[in-house]
Amino acid sequence: MSPAIPAAVTPVHVGVQAITGQSANPQGSAAPAHKKNYEFTVKDGDWQDTGVVLAAGEKLHFAATGSTNLEDGRTLDPDGAARGWRDLLRQFPLNSANTGALVGRVGDLGASVPFLVGKDNDLVVPASGKLFLRMNLSSDLTATGSFKVKLTFEAEAKAKAVAAPPVVSTLVSPATFADIPRRVSDNEGHEGDMVNYGLIGTEDQVQAAFKAAGWVPVDKSVGDAVLHGILSTMSHEAYTEMPMSTLYLFGRPQDLSFARGDPLKVAAERHHLRVWKTDKTINNKPLWVGSATHDVGFERDQRNGGVTHKIDPEIDKERDFLLQSFEAAGVFSSAAYVTPEDPMLKANTATGGSFYSDGRIVVMELK
């Protein structure tokens, strides 16, 4: 049975809607007024709002001192300590950083990706927003002690005026997606997830954008996953690259696959998507399209009675999570929603699960 569309989700008119946000037009963003230096004290494992508003493109220098003691007996400086075996069973804000290291984040979007601060680090701000700091600790680790952090804004030479590139809303239209299938399919031709995003850029730009936004390329096979998982465990690293199924668009498997999820939940819950290169070019760059969904658990596969992943039926949330993650990373120059002539509003996945949408496709031009 097809799912009903909730009252709060209704189709929108065919056309193009420009998106404005932190990184939609960075050339026109002025740096906020602030002091040249700031000092903070970071005491525990909660995100601390520094109150300092940053602008995309600003250059920062962090210098941190101090120490903290964990209840398990470890004493840490702002660089933290190498992960131990027990830390593999813990969830950290930044899984690539040492236990207890000083980390930061710009903005309070749920899709924002933390970065390592440590004792000494430079940062070019990816997108505008408030600066947050904390220790890289899981909820079960209690720390006593503090880090003293000095933030310095580096002076920049005055940039020459550069003409802004055309925005996506002037480059795409419903006709752009007229001959692009609305849905992907499995290897038996069963239609499934909807095409809900587009990216304009080279393959290098696509790869770099996903990396900056915290997405990882998934392993291509179970064999790759087993080997990668063993190597990650031996290195005391979290494993998040679990393979995903192969789906088809334009008669071929996905060109690229990415996921973003917590290491301890990745088997059941994760953000994941597939990417296909089209034969179209926009502004002299390739157009890529794909389907983004959020695994939230398991359900019965109605094709064969087995167990498969269940996706969040509010599929527009995942489309917008992708947008927010790219915005937080500052990797696109402009973005727009496109509603095609025949928008996808409700359907079932290839495995029998249901989903619904307002029919819009988000399109981003990458930097």
- What average pLDDT does the structure give for the chain? 84
- CB 207 within 8 Å of CB 199: no
Q: Is the pLDDT of residue 347 over 70?
A: yes
CA pair distance 328, 104, nearest whole angstrom: 13
Q: Is the pLDDT of residue 295 over 90?
A: no
pLDDT for 264: 46
Domain for residue 84, yes or no?
yes
Are 135 and 272 in a shared domain? no
pLDDT for 110: 79
Domain for residue 344, yes or no?
yes
Compare 155 and 207 and report the one with higher pLDDT. Answer: 207
pLDDT for 222: 44
> How far is the CA of 84 from the CAs of 97, 98, 99, in angstroms?
12, 10, 9
Domain for residue 75, yes or no?
yes
Domain containing 298 equals: 15-25+164-366
pLDDT for 34: 85
Read off the pLDDT of each residue in 30-50 and give the average, rounded to a whole number.
87
pLDDT tens readout for residues 57-107: 999 999 999 999 998 899 999 999 998 878 888 889 998 899 999 999 998
Q: What is the DSSP string of 328-353?
A: HHT-EEEEEEEE-SS---EEE-TTS-
Coil/strand/helix, residue 184: strand
Are 148 and 92 in a shared domain? yes
Read off the pLDDT of each residue in 119-123 and give the average, rounded to a whole number.
97
Q: How confident is the model at residue 283 (pLDDT cuts 50, 70, 90)?
A: very high
Domain for residue 4, yes or no?
no
Q: How confident is the model at residue 33 (pLDDT cuts 50, 70, 90)?
A: confident
Are 321 and 176 in a shared domain? yes
Are 200 and 250 in a shared domain? yes
pLDDT for 74: 93
Domain for residue 41, yes or no?
yes
Domain for residue 119, yes or no?
yes
Out of 6-15, 44-53, 157-166, 323-332, the most confident range is 323-332
Which among 61, 125, 59, 72 has a CA at the least distance from the CA of 99?
72
| Helix/strand/coil (H/E/C) assignment for every residue in the chain | CCCCCCCCCCCCCCEEEEECCCCCCHHHCCCCCCCCEEEEEECCCCCEEEEEEECCCCEEEEEEEEEEEECCCCEECCCCECCCHHHHHCCCCCCCCCECCEEEEECCCCCCCCEECCCEEEEECCCCEEEEEEECCCCCCCEEEEEEEEEEECCCCCCCCCCCCCCHHHCCCHHHHCCCCCEEECCCCCEEEECCEEEECCHHHHHHHHHHCCCEECCCCHHHHHHHHHHHHHCCCCCCCCCCCCCEECCEECCEEEEECCCCCCCCEEEEEEEEEEEEEECCEEEEEEEEEEEEEEEECCCCCCEEEEECCECHHHHHHHHHHHHHHCCEEEEEEEECCCCCCEEECCCCCEEECCCCEEEEEEC
Coil/strand/helix, residue 222: helix
Provide the CB-side half-sphere exposure for 297 (13 A, CA): 5
- Number of structural domains in the chain: 2
Provide the CB-side half-sphere exposure for 8 (13 A, CA): 3
Tokens representing 113? 């990706």
Out of 135-144, 168-177, 253-262, the most confident range is 168-177
Out of 24-33, 46-55, 310-319, the most confident range is 46-55
Are 68 and 140 in a shared domain? yes
Q: How confident is the model at residue 227 (pLDDT cuts 50, 70, 90)?
A: very low
Are 100 and 233 in a shared domain? no
122: how many CB neighbours lie within 10 A of its CB?
10
The residue from 104, 126, 153 where one domain ends is 153
**What phi and psi values does residue 290 have, to the nearest 5 degrees?**
-175, 180
Are 135 and 268 in a shared domain? no
262: how many CB neighbours lie within 10 A of its CB?
13
Domain for residue 255, yes or no?
yes
CA pair distance 272, 309, nearest whole angstrom: 11
CATH number of the domain where residue 138 is located? 2.60.120.430
Q: Is the pLDDT of residue 2 over 50?
A: no
The residue from 119, 153, 187 where one domain ends is 153
Are 207 and 146 in a shared domain? no
Q: Is the pLDDT of residue 157 over 70?
A: no
Q: How confident is the model at residue 225 (pLDDT cuts 50, 70, 90)?
A: very low
Are 277 and 313 in a shared domain? yes
Read off the pLDDT of each residue in 160-175 and give the average, rounded to a whole number.
84
Tokens representing 355? 């989903």
pLDDT for 251: 96
Share of the chain above pLDDT 90, in %: 60
Out of 1-5, 20-24, 168-172, 236-240, the most confident range is 168-172
The residue from 131, 153, 175 where one domain ends is 153
Are 335 and 209 in a shared domain? yes
**Any idea which of 20-34, 123-137, 244-258, 290-304 has the lowest mean pLDDT?**
20-34
Q: Is the pLDDT of residue 29 over 60?
A: no
Q: How confident is the model at residue 165 (pLDDT cuts 50, 70, 90)?
A: confident
Domain for residue 10, yes or no?
no
Are 209 and 325 in a shared domain? yes
Which among 26, 78, 67 has a CA at the least distance from the CA of 331?
26
Are 169 and 309 in a shared domain? yes
Q: Is the pLDDT of residue 1 over 50?
A: no
pLDDT for 219: 44
Compare 227 and 32 and report the one with higher pLDDT. Answer: 32
